[in-house]
Amino acid sequence: MRVATGLSEADLLKQVADSDGLVVRSETKVTAKVLDAAKKLMVVGRAGVGVDNIDVPAATARGVYVVNAPFGNVWAAAEHALTLSLALLRKVVDADQSVRAGKWTRSAFMGRELRGKTLGLIGIGRVGGLVARRAAAFEMHVIAHDPYATEAGARALGARLVELDELLRDADVISLHTPLTEKTRGMINATTLALMKPTAILVNCSRGEVVDPAALASALEKNELAGAALDVFATEPLPADSPLRSAPRTILTPHIAGSTVEAQTNVSVDVARQIIDVLQGRPARDAVNAPRPPSEEAGGTAWLRLAEGLGSLAAQLLEGRPSSLELVYQGTLLELDPEPLRAAGVKGLLEQFSEQRVNLVNALALAKDRGLAIAERQELEPARYTSLLTLRVGGTEVAGSLVQGEPRIVRIDGFWVDVPIEGHLLLTKHTDKPGLVGRVGTVLGENDVNISSMQVGRRNPRGEALMILTLDDPVPDAVRERIGHYADIVEVRTARLGV
């Protein structure tokens, strides 16, 4: 591990040339040029929330994970929003400066309480939700506007969802907790400020670009707003000519909402764990350019391992390259987000045909580039299992489920089986006749290939059958060809999964 600070771009290019992982803060710019220089790079971690300093599309095109720590400083940010609200209403900063100047004019600093006030949250996600919960301790009424929130989710946080105009008209404290999008850029402008009460205050700990600084400064100068507290700005550091510097009744802090000792520890640990996960071949929990794995309660990464294993097995059983893929989700699997399962299945499939790195970051984009048609279907009632994931590629069909929390292959080309997703496999399609299994076992033993488990599926006695041997060792080509020449064996295949 190397630690370096204050690097020029040229120095950074040298540092990343042989790096597998890279962790940065906000000042380091990870550009396409940097990514091109880092041929071995698998993951870039931002020890914080924002990833504006990382070229995410360039990383995605190269199959490089970009991870952050969206939860590590949310508690700090929520507390800072309330700190700024209290400081504004109680005129703490002005009172402090007055005392330091030798004055004692208590009457000049008559404040207002949070208790009984209406808090309007624009955005009730991670940070906004924490602010809502903490506002309850101040006996505030909480309303929120968030197009992605549900009524039930808002109620659970003690808030009531309203339209934006209603929030702006009714709230005494308006706190911004929204991401920067084309819809939220400049959301707080002359028009929306005009809807607010003249006694209202505005707090912004989200993104500086959400607020029009000139319009806000004008509203404060005209006493159309009681105050504003800002921690973030469109340009940082705040320019000397910013109208906010001279606007009355303002508190300005230098982007420190997430800057606590505890938050810095949290984000560092979160990112380090994800870096380790990626380097050890596991999906990242908070990748900004890859689908999020299912929750641990729903099976977690076991479902991704299964989908990848099914894709890999299907690819190895195929004749030629795939042109299409169908995924079928059955039973309780319908409750999960299909995107990570889709990406994992495609990853397992394409890895068998691609010299390029394939992972959850770029699997779907590579599939599109290669013209792989992906279809999906949902069925409420699975066969035999409460949940079943099926992949169909060409004339091959493989399916799997979680058995006591572990991924298992449970069906191959219509035969019900029970096979782990790791190990060397030998598969034969044959006519079910006495002695065949023994002959295959004998020839493997003669060639020092150890059998760890065996599964035989058949449609009826002495009819069409499928045998799957899980092996500790790969099967030499000559041995596979010898087995294929046995009478009654129609087809023989070998596969390697997760090893």
Helices (H), 259-383: 261-279, 301-317, 338-350, 363-369
Assigned token pair, 262:
């505890």
User: Is the dihedral angle over the CA atoms 283, 289, 290, 294 positive or is it negative?
Assistant: positive
- To the nearest 10 degrees (0 to 180), the angle between helices 301-317 and 338-350 is 40
Spatial strand order of the sheet with 489-497 comes to: 451-458, 464-471, 423-431, 489-497
Report how far residue 151's alpha carbon sits from residue 469's, in angstroms, rounded to the nearest whole number.
53
Report how far residue 343's alpha carbon sits from residue 472's, in angstroms, rounded to the nearest whole number.
29
Cα-trace Rg, the chain: 30
Find out whether 377 and 327 touch, Cβ atoms under 8 Å. yes
SS3 467: strand
Instruction: Determine how β-strand 415-420 pairs with β-strand 324-331.
Output: unpaired
Report how far residue 352's alpha carbon sits from residue 338's, in angstroms, rounded to the nearest whole number.
22
Assigned token pair, 475:
């099967």
Report how far residue 339's alpha carbon sits from residue 109's, in angstroms, rounded to the nearest whole number.
55
Active site residues: 207, 236, 255
DSSP 475-487: PPHHHHHHHHTST
Report how far residue 200's alpha carbon sits from residue 224's, in angstroms, rounded to the nearest whole number.
9
User: What phi, psi does 6 have (nearest 5°)?
Assistant: 65, 30
SS3 68: coil
**Partners of 112 in the β-ladder:** none
Of 413, 421, 396, the closest CA to residue 466 belongs to 413
Find out whether 317 and 81 touch, Cβ atoms under 8 Å. no
Neighbours of 434 (CB within 10 A): 7
Report how far residue 131's alpha carbon sits from residue 90's, in angstroms, rounded to the nearest whole number.
19
> Which residues in 133-156 are b (16+ Cβ under 10 Å) and which e?
ebbeebebbbbbbbeebeeebbee
Of 404, 392, 440, 399, the closest CA to residue 421 belongs to 399
User: Is the dihedral angle over the CA atoms 134, 139, 145, 151 positive or is it negative?
Assistant: positive
